[in-house]
Amino acid sequence: MKRIFSGVQPTGNLHLGNYLGAIRNWVQLQKDFDCIFCIVDLHALTLPQDPKELRAQTREVTAAYIAAGIDPEHCVIFNQSTVPGHAELAWLLGCLTPLGWLNRMTQFKEKAGKHREEAGLGLYSYPVLMAADILLYKATHVPVGEDQKQHLELARDIAGAFNRRYGVEFFPLPEPQIFGAGTRVMSLRDGTKKMSKSDISDYSRLNMTDDAETIALKIKKAKTDPQPLPATEKEAEARPEADNLLGIYASLAGLDKPAAIARFAGKNFSAFKDELAGVAGDVLGKIGAEMKRLLADPGYIDGVLHRGAARANAIASPILGEIFDIMGLLRP
């Protein structure tokens, strides 16, 4: 059976990168896979969160999934903390994960920065919880943006370590699905930095809740260079801001990158930015308006999460039971 698991952290400022790199691809994949989409609230706790905000953002990510086109009747949508198996399996898998593997994780190095000694244990073991998320459902495919590739390689290594240690073929090795023109959307202020929820400048990203006017303003202020738009892919690659904006345009307009480059080759940025603002405003504006409509009825959102939790638990519980048996944990 082909099963997808993926998730987003409810840490605020859902942005165009989350949409193009992940959520939009899920919408396409839901037709062909058994899908489980999670709001990973336990992962959010690896950095300090305001409890009230965390609750609000959990509902906001849920609304974003549905507004983007994920069908909550067909797919399982739930928040991670409602299925205890995630934390339990993370412990079990943590006992099989060598520290050396975790020491290689670049995201921990970036997030902990110079304050490694003060960083929490949860931030360090974050990728083990992510492996548990996926393996708890024996997911076979994991659609994510480029920045999650290393974590997925670790999840495959952990699955392999479990199978070898116990001499079983229990966990499938989950396959990363990283595709489309938006696998790595960069900041609007610096084409060498990833667009991120945590960037202090709101002008660095297009949020999924921005209205058309805000989107137009952010695109107008987006960093560019003084030359006209590049004429070839090679030329674009050497100009990170132009390359990023062209990639975003291609992705939103449903073109491939070379077609977007050909369309604007040699033109000036202001005409291009007007078109980009138009297409971005259309796509995100509709999703943002639908999110607002859904969020006006928190009872509906909570109902989706409640049903999702029951469905997720029903899939996870027997799998966790088998894992306990394989590992020799007695359940009298």
Residue positions annotated with a catalytic role: 111, 194, 197
In whole angstroms, how close is the CB of 296 to ligand TYM at the nearest point?
24
Looking at the DSSP bridge assignments, the partners of residue 6 are 37
Could you please report the per-residue DSSP string of 298-316? HHHHHHHHHHHHHHHHHHH
Q: 112 or 265: whose CB is closer to ligand TYM? A: 112
Q: For residues 72 and 128, give the distance between their C-alpha atoms in angstroms, rounded to a whole number.
A: 27
Instruction: Based on the shown chain and the rule CB under 6 A, indicate whether residue 33 belongs to the binding site for ligand TYM.
Output: no
Q: Closest CB to ligand TYM among 199 and 281?
A: 199
Task: Decide: is 40 part of the binding site for ligand TYM (CB under 6 A).
Answer: yes
* Distance of alpha carbon 237 from alpha carbon 127, whole angstroms: 31
Binding track, positions 141-180, relative to ligand TYM; x by CB under 6 A: -x-xx-xx--x-----------------------------
Q: Is 133 in the site for ligand TYM (CB under 6 A)?
A: yes
Instruction: Using DSSP, state whether 192 is helix, strand or coil.
Output: coil
* Interface region with ligand TYM, contact rule CB under 6 A, candidates 1-9, 211-219, 249-257, 258-266: 1-9
- Binding residues for ligand TYM, total number by CB under 6 A: 26
Strands of the sheet with 34-39, listed across from one edge: 76-79, 34-39, 3-8, 141-143, 175-177
Q: How far is the CB of 123 from ligand TYM (least distance, A)?
A: 11
Asked whether position 5 contacts ligand TYM by CB under 6 A, the answer is: yes
How many whole angstroms separate alpha carbon 153 and alpha carbon 150?
A: 5
The verdict on 8 binding ligand TYM (CB under 6 A) reads yes
Measure CA of the first residue to CA of the last residue in the chain; give whole Å: 31
Site for ligand TYM (CB under 6 A): which residue of 63, 185, 229, 284?
Answer: 185
Verify binding: residue 194, ligand TYM, rule CB under 6 A. Answer: yes
CA distance 90 to 45: 15
Contact (CB, 8 A) for 78 and 312: yes
DSSP letters of 233-302? HHHHHT-HHHHHHHHHHHHHHT--HHHHHHHHTT--HHHHHHHHHHHHHHHHHHHHHHHHHHHT-HHHHH
What's the min distance (Å) between Cβ of 167 and ligand TYM? 26
**Binder to ligand TYM among 63, 70, 83, 130 (CB under 6 A)?**
130
Q: Which residues bind ligand TYM (CB under 6 A)?
A: 5-9, 17-18, 21-22, 40, 43, 130, 133-134, 142, 144-145, 147-148, 151, 182-185, 194-195
